[in-house]
Structure 1
Amino acid sequence: MADHFSAAVDFSSWFWNGVFFAWCGYILLSHIPAAVRARLSLHRRRFSLKSDDLCPSVTIVKPLLGDDGNLNDNLEGYFKLDYPSNKFEILFCVMDPDDPAKAIVDSLIAKYPSVDARLLTGGKHIGINPKINNMHVAVSGARHDFIWLSDSNIMVRPENLKELVACLDPTVGLVHQLPYALPADSFAALVDKIYFGTQHARVYLVADMLKRNCANGMSWLLRKSALEEVVGGLAAFSEYLAEDFFIGKTLWERGWKLSLCSLPALQNPSATVTSLSRFRNRMIRWTRLRASMMPFPGLLEPLTECIFLGIFASIAASRIFNCCVLTFFVLQSIVWFLLDYHLMSCVENGPLPSMWKVICAWLVRELWTIPIFVESLCSQRITWGGHLFQLEFGGHSVKLE
């Protein structure tokens, strides 16, 4: 009896060691399809329309809140788009008529009178999501079927709109962009950039390659008629804070294709608002949101990170192959970093900061993942847009103040 029990324990130990070791290899190797997807899809010009008359008409909607210091530069790019001027309109939205963004928009409209641009104030309160409340009037009143929704901190290139519409065909309901960041001008900005160029890019690109919903609402082109197939249209998603996830999920479930644009969405926040504290708060907020929407995958998130997974994989490897735990952990971390660095270079499509800066910022982000995850489990409340919300399972939220 004792021999049978001992054999069962040994089998269980070998089984779980094998599972952890195999899972580590699977996550590590997921860098490869992500890098391949980045090489084949990103920074590849697709626009090929010979005549401006063939360009579809687009409404650009920009929900704004305050001025972070780079707002003027970020917004001016939309007035300089390489796109027929009679084929797009820009609708800027602010809730408060005294919002600092209003003066910037007014000056840009005066500076570019040939561009069809308007400022809408007041919004419409239809739910707890402040972004949807801000832009609902603009989306409802958009003159064109294609709507480019873009956050205030996104900087665009002149060819950005052409590359978005190049992904359209009659089956595409949404064109999204991989979130990334402009060259970092501070250590905190580099940590942020590394997150979007490594862990986030890996999960995003693999999900896109597998044709799963991964669309992020920082910058995307929506087919308004597809959105209005849902009863209530945009308003139907106003009870969610992560409206982008549910919009993408709904369109995908209705048979619409989600297409990845060749150009990443470049975040360009001012250095005055970029800090490690801001990065930490952002990660905690997003982790809590994901856990409220998908509790089981959310709890497994640490098992997709280098440090946490590496510890378990190293222990498993030592028991399976009788190797040194520390040696395996160090080697695994080096390989992971090199794969991350290569993936980030694919997304960047240009020179990265010095290797030592990248290594330091990468280590900070990786070592911070577990404390951030643990802290995110301690509450279901988040602060967003100056308001406090209570998260509920299924993605719904309640505004507390």
Structure 2
Amino acid sequence: MSYISVLSYTRIVTSVVFLVWYILMVSAAYFGFVEILLKFNRRPNLSNDRDENDKYEGVTIIRPIKGIDPELSSCLESSFCQNYPSDKLEILFCVDDPNDASIPLIKKLIAKYPNIDAKILISSNFDPTTNSSDDHYGPNPKVNNLAKGFVASRYDILWVMDSNVWASSNILKNSVISLNDNLNNGRKQSDTAKRTVKLVHHVPLALSVNPTGDSKDEQEYVLTPTHSDDDSETSSSSSITKSTRKRFLKNFGAKLDEMFLLTSHSKFYVSLNNLAIAPCVNGKSNIYRKSDLDRSVALMPHYQEKSEFFHDEKVVNDAKYYSSLGPGHSIKFFSRYIGEDNMIGIALWENALGKTGLTGDVVIQPLSGSDNGINDYITRRVRWLRVRKYMVLLATLVEPTTESIICGLYGNYAISTLFMNRWFTWWLFALHLSIWVVTDYVQYHVLINNIVSPRNLDYLPNWLINIPPVNRSVWNWLYMWALRELLALPIWVIAMFGHEIDWRGKPFKIKKDLTAEEL
């Protein structure tokens, strides 16, 4: 009698289900990994056969700004340094507060590049006591700020880019070619397919800049005991002091974000985009046509019955209203959502038969490595998990199963049960984790190579010339990788048992219809 026959029915069924799910998750992970190896090993430089006049279509870059983010000047300057004809470029800096600290910095950049059409757009009738203006269409402050840029834009192609990210010089050219030629990572998509590329986006990464604890001396100071000349303190010298421990943990937030975005997130982000089952969009850097978005919002009433997200009567009435105001006003419709990037992707997917496309480029958010703690990282991850919980509930519920430890545990249970007649196999789990960590290490450095390889690059800020990840030891990397993996499940649990999020210093509650309510 086979040992399978003596196993409980429940155990067999759960083992088969877990095995199937394990295979799916591992396949999705390594599908993204292989694509990153092939298409992100260096910065791309796409080209097409169009003549010079048709190749470069006019583009409006819109950057919403509030306050001073780390390395703000160089992030904004990257918009001026695109390998793109200056007479086909418009840059709009959207600011709410006329006294915003970023305005003098932006004025200096505009003066530095007089050949590029750039201007600052300030919201009307801003009230500093309430931190609001007449440009208020919903609870999303980013969309409220962006709206004036959409309406004022000269060109149909819009590049909406957060103020705190930096882009290399070929990204705009690559993106316009991808948008017009229906490309994803340089590959031509089928012209007979139902959907074509309507939104081009870029893999978002983060770097811990000006971090402490990366140099050898600082590592020794942080990780070794603090000795005293006083014999009375010898007994306590073997432990890390409270102040040293505080310093040790203080700078981990940026490194954890960096690790998350360069490993787990980018792997599945690239994979899901290529699978094209549904739109998967991060709003750090997106390029699409204003006319496509306007048409998508205008068509919502016609597809009301079929839409999973835009069927509520008030939603449909607002879509009608904003569509009636003219070109560019449709962006105001999305001010009701905190995750406007994902909802724009869904609108283009449902009503413009659009899909998303990557270019093989990344955009980089510099994060302060000296005052960015673990709690800051946890707060950021919890915030976006809570937003996603209402937008893509099923995907958020199964997210822990995409992480190395949980994925390894249920995969190990399935394989051990079905093929080894045991509950758990340590060597199999060790093999799973070893393969996962090696592929993450390789992927991490492939993306770092994409960042530091200045192919056709005219502008490289100081913080990118010698970035810390290049010089980190394997053990330093492994320590941060393990900490990130161990925190994944606790962060998910915290996010699931809560509804409030903090956005730019304001508390919001996400409602079941995906809209946000400011508290």
* TM-score of the aligned structures, taking structure 1 as reference length: 0.91
Distance 1:183 1:294 in 2: 29
One-letter amino acid matched to 1:360: Y
Q: Are the structure 2 counterparts of residues 272 and 130 from structure 1 closer, same or farther at C-alpha, using a change threshold of 3 Å? A: farther
1:354 and 1:185 map into 2 onto residues whose CA distance is 17
Partner of 2:44: 44
Letter matched to residue 363 of structure 1 = A
CA distance in 1, matches of 2:197, 2:18: 39
Q: 2:291 is matched by which residue type in structure 1?
A: S
What letter matches 1:12 in structure 2? T
Given that 1:126 and 1:238 are in contact with CA atoms closer than 8 Å, whether structure 2 keeps it comes out as yes
Q: Which residue of 2 aligns with 1:3?
A: none
Does the alignment pair 1:222 with 2:233? no
With over 3 angstroms needed to count, the CA separation of the structure-2 counterparts of 1:55 and 1:204, relative to structure 1, is: same
Partners of 1:128 and 1:239 within 8 A in 2: yes
Where do residues 1-400 of structure 1 align in structure 2 (5 Å cutoff)?
Answer: 10-42=8-40, 43-48=43-48, 51=52, 54-122=55-123, 124-169=135-180, 171-182=196-207, 185-186=210-211, 187-211=252-276, 212-229=278-295, 230-231=297-298, 232=322, 233-254=330-351, 255-272=353-370, 274-320=372-418, 321-322=420-421, 324-349=424-449, 352=470, 353-400=472-519
The one-letter code of the counterpart of 1:180 is: L
Q: Partner of 1:269: helix, strand, or coil?
A: strand
Paired with 2:370 and 2:502, the residues of 1 have a C-alpha distance of 20
Tell me how far 1:372 sits from its aligned partner.
Answer: 0.4
Output one character per residue of 1:1-26: Cα deviation in whole Å (capped at 9) or x when no partner. xxxxx979712211212322332233
Shift of 1:37: 2.1
| Letter in structure 2 aligned against 1:375 | I
Give unmatched runs, 5+ long, in structure 1. Answer: 1-5
- Secondary structure at the aligned position of 1:200 is classed as helix
Give the number of the structure whose alpha-carbon radius of gyration is greater. Answer: 2
Contact in 1 for aligned 2:208/2:367 (Cα 8 Å) = no
Partner Cα distance (2:106, 2:490) in 1: 40
| CA displacement at 1:51 relative to structure 2 | 2.3
The alpha-carbon deviation at position 273 of structure 1 amounts to 5.5
Whether the aligned pair in 2 keeps the contact of 1:303 and 1:309 (CA below 8 Å) is: yes
**4+ runs of 1 displaced by more than 6 Å?**
6-9
Alignment RMSD: 2.3
CA contact (8 A) 1:91 1:138 kept: yes
Q: Percent identity?
A: 33
**Distance in 2 between residues matched to 1:134 and 1:375, nearest whole Å:** 30
Paired residue type of 1:251: L
Q: Is the 8 A contact 1:190 1:358 kept in 2?
A: no
Q: Is the 8 A contact 1:176 1:221 kept in 2?
A: yes
Stretch deviating more after TM superposition (89-98 or 227-236) = 227-236
Deviation at 1:316, TM superposition (A): 3.6
Distance 1:11 1:270, change over 3 A: same
Residue aligned with 1:228, SS: helix
Q: CA deviation at 1:337?
A: 1.1
- Provide the C-alpha distance between the structure 1 equivalents of 2:89 and 2:95, rounded to a whole number of angstroms: 20
TM-score normalized by the length of structure 2: 0.71
Distance 1:270 1:9 in 2: 54
User: What are the superposed Cα offsets for residues 111-145 of structure 1, whole Å, 9 maximum, x if unpaired?
Assistant: 22222110111261111110000110111110100
Larger deviation: 77-86 or 376-385?
A: 77-86
Query: Residue 272 of structure 1: CA displacement?
Result: 5.0
